[in-house]
Chains A and B, each alone.
Chain A
Amino acid sequence: MTADQLADLIERMAARLLAERAVLNRLDAATGDGDHGSSISGALALAVQEIDALEEPSPQAIWLTTAQALLNGMGGASGAIFGTFFLKGAARLQDAQRISQVDMAALLEAGLAGVQARGRAQVGDKTMVDALAPAVAAFAAAADFPSAWRAAADAAAAGAESTRDMLARQGRAKYLGERAIGHVDPGATTIALMFAAAADTHTAE
């Protein structure tokens, strides 16, 4: 992928989350404070704006700008966690100009490792990791770029759905105990939507 394609990817993710904002807010209202969709779509819209304003939009600058928009434009636990995902990925990019599927897999893996270290969440804790971990694995196992995004999107969607029957072990939903069962985690749903947007993006190596 080129820098232009990465910028387009972030833009499509932003548009997708904006379109699904009310759905995400409703999911968050069940176990959180009901603003996840508004805050993450707002932060990604800010990222798109700031990427547009970059003088030298290298892949690393695009990933870093996205990280900073999430960290500082969103705040809260979600801003820290989603921001860390892009921040750790950006550190892997250095001065690369074109991103191969293998590069992207490494970048996603670095992001996942960063998220898990920061949030201390494992698969099964009813967090975004439940969608992200299978998506990253599916991406790395795929044969080529377009099928990698599609496989990752499918795995993320299944992972997000799997949170429905889980007890939460992180974040504010954990205080709900069994009352969190029956509700899909909004962060995991956001990850699924981001990968779905990526799968719809035309990618070329």
Chain B
Amino acid sequence: MSARAHKLINRPDTIVDEMLEGFCAAYSDIVQLTDDGLITRAQSKAQGKVALVIGNGSGHEPAMVGWVGQGLFDVNIAGEIFTAPGPQRIVDGIRAADCGGGVLVCVSHHAGDRLNAELALELCEAEGIDHVELVILYDDISSAPKGQEAERRGTAGLFFVWKMLGAFCEDEGDLAAAKALAEKVRDNTRSLAMSLSSCASPITGEVMFEMADDEMEIGMGLHGEVGMGRQKALSADETIDLMLPPILEDLPFAEGDEVLVLLNNSGSLTLMELFILYRRVAQRLDEAGIKVYRSWLDAYATTQEMAGFALSLCRVDEQLKALWDAPANGAYMKQI
């Protein structure tokens, strides 16, 4: 499957600015674009609550711009395409978010995201901005073996952290409790992704990696990082039968557990394909005695037009179920 080299953009060097302008114009009831390019809530949260900030590379829309809003993030700092923003911009984001209850800086674990967030925290310390904490989040079982979870990268499954942490911080003034909640969701979440195609960099127009028409790759990262290896493309059921068992074994998820399920479209799969994939996930979970509490099927974190998906599971207890069901109003995450 070929990547789509021609994209409907104007100029490679204005992609991010123009995209943010369009996004914030389209959803002006939810978000606003500040003069220095930060995405903030149209109405900020109550004073004294923990504010949530995330910086990330662009090119994954609707992540993370679509997650700013009530019950979700306070500020998103969008970097260049697939490139984490630099430390000074993260500090700007921290200042903009702070509403007196401390600021939790969330990092979807990749070298650039972590290094720049660490530098930003050092700058905060030097500038006397206190009550700022960092939480490193990861979920992709293909990126490091069990036992080395902290080496893993952050992918689509962090969806669960954003939703539940957002709900928690809407009414929470304790920064340490917020960080602990984020870690709790992270530690109950596992993901694995696959792709049938490559994608083209919107900057260079070049494909990010080569992939033959009859191949698939299991363990795909969010930026076209290749995973565990290539194989012949399989059917929907065969693909789920290959991907679900290692996810279940990794946590491990056990009979009697309740889970949230995400099938995240990485770009150009059809909803038809996601439904067929989900059918098999539901069958297999039922056989394993694992109960699905809620499921979500859509494109939440994309890699341009890559034809693939991530399967993510999160084990929930009563606290997490209540947080999942709490209201949220982001442009691409709504819960009534």
> From B142, which residue of chain A is reached at the shortest CB distance?
A175
What residue of chain B has the Cβ atom nearest to residue A180's Cβ?
B226
With A and B bound together, what is the CA distance between A110 and B73 in angstroms? Answer: 38
Q: Is the CB of B203 within 8 A of A35?
A: yes
CB distance from B93 to the nearest CB of A (A): 13
Return chain B residues, CB-CB under 8 Å to A81. Answer: 115
- Which range holds the interface residue count of chain A? 20 to 34
B227 and A75 contact, CB distance less than 8 A: no
Over the window 190-208 of chain B, the binary record of Cβ atoms lying under 8 Å from chain A Cβ atoms (1 yes, 0 no) is 0000000000010110101
Considering only CB atoms, which chain A residue lies closest to B77 in the complex?
Answer: A75
User: How far apart are A68's CB and chain B's nearest CB, in angstroms?
Assistant: 8
The digit string for A173-198, where 1 denotes a CB below 8 A from any CB of B, is 00110010000000000000000000
Which residues between 58 and 98 of chain B lie within 8 Å of chain A, taking CB atoms? 79-89
A71 to B111, CA, bound (A): 14
Q: Are B225 and A76 in contact, CB atoms less than 8 angstroms apart?
A: no
Supposing A80-B116, A172-B223 touch, asked if A25 and B83 sit within 8 A by C-beta, the answer is no
Q: Contacting B112 at CB < 8 Å: which of A73, A76, A175? A: A76
Interfacial chain B residues near A175, Cβ < 8 Å = 142-143, 153, 219, 221, 225-227
B161 to chain A, nearest CB (A): 21
Min C-beta distance of A105 to chain B, whole Å: 25
The interface size bin for chain B is 20 to 34
- CB of B325 to closest CB in A, whole Å: 35
Chain A residues near B206 (CB, 8 Å)?
29, 34
> Which residues from A are CB-within-8-Å of B153?
175
Contact A76 B83 (CB under 8 A): yes
Residues of chain A contacted by B173 (CB below 8 angstroms): none
A29 to B206 Cα, complex, angstroms: 9
* Chain B residues, Cβ within 8 Å of A119: 111, 115
Please tell me if B110 contacts chain A, counting CB pairs below 8 Å. Answer: yes
Question: Closest residue to A81 on the B side, CB-wise?
Answer: B115
Cross-chain contact B80 with A72 (CB below 8 angstroms): no
CB of B86 within 8 A of CB of A39, answer no
Name, among B84, B89, B111, the residue most crowded by chain A CB atoms within 10 Å (CB to CB).
B111
CA A81 – CA B118 in complex, angstroms? Answer: 12
C-alpha spacing A118/B46, complex, angstroms: 36
* Chain B residue, CB-CB nearest to A74: B86
Q: What's the Cα separation between A179 and B110 when bound, in Å?
A: 20
Contacts of B203 in A (CB 8 A): 35, 38
Q: What distance in Å separates the Cβ of A114 from its nearest Cβ neighbour in chain B?
A: 11
Cα distance A202–B223 in the bound complex, in angstroms: 42
Q: Are A75 and B84 in contact (CB under 8 A)?
A: yes
A204 at the A/B interface (Cβ < 8 Å)? no
Tell me the nearest residue of chain A to B12, going by C-beta.
A38
- B84's contact among A77, A171, A179, by CB below 8 Å, is which? A77
B124 shortest CB reach to chain A, Å:
14
- The smallest C-beta distance from B84 to any residue of chain A, in angstroms, reads 5
Smallest Cβ-Cβ distance to A84: which chain B residue:
B119
Bound: A132/B116 CA distance, A: 21
Contacts of A79 in B (CB 8 A): 83, 86, 112, 116
A35 to B143, CA, bound (A): 22
Task: Please tell me if A170 contacts chain B, counting CB pairs below 8 Å.
Answer: yes
A33 adjacent to B84 (CB under 8 Å): no
A34 to B86 alpha-carbon distance, docked (Å): 19
Determine if B224 is an interface residue (Cβ-Cβ < 8 Å).
Answer: yes
Q: Residue-by-residue, is B223-237 near A (CB-CB < 8 Å gives 1, otherwise 0)?
A: 111110000000000
Contacting residues, chain B, for A33 (C-beta < 8 A): 82, 201, 208, 223-224
Q: Known interface pairs A75-B80, A75-B83, A175-B226. Does A35 touch B201 (Cβ–Cβ under 8 Å)?
A: yes
- Asked if residues B204 and A34 are in contact (CB atoms below 8 Å), the reply is yes
Give the distance to chain B from A139, nearest Cβ to Cβ, in Å: 25
Chain B residues, Cβ within 8 Å of A72:
86-89
Is B57 in contact with chain A by the CB < 8 A criterion? yes
25 contacts between A and B (CB under 8 A): A29-B206, A29-B208, A33-B82, A34-B204, A34-B208, A35-B81, A35-B82, A35-B83, A35-B201, A38-B204, A39-B80, A39-B83, A68-B88, A71-B116, A74-B83, A74-B86, A75-B80, A75-B89, A77-B110, A77-B115, A80-B86, A83-B119, A171-B111, A175-B153, A175-B221
State the A residues within 8 Å of B (CB).
25, 29, 33-35, 38-39, 68, 71-81, 83-84, 118-119, 170-172, 175-176, 179
Q: Which residues of B are interface residues toward A (Cβ below 8 A)? A: 57, 79-89, 110-112, 115-116, 118-119, 142-143, 153, 201, 203-204, 206, 208, 219, 221, 223-227
Which 10 A/B pairs are nearest by Cβ-Cβ distance?
A80-B115, A77-B112, A72-B86, A77-B111, A76-B83, A76-B112, A75-B86, A72-B88, A75-B83, A175-B225
Sample of 8 further A-B pairs with CB below 8 A, known A74-B83, A172-B111: A33-B208, A35-B203, A38-B204, A75-B85, A80-B115, A175-B142, A175-B153, A175-B226
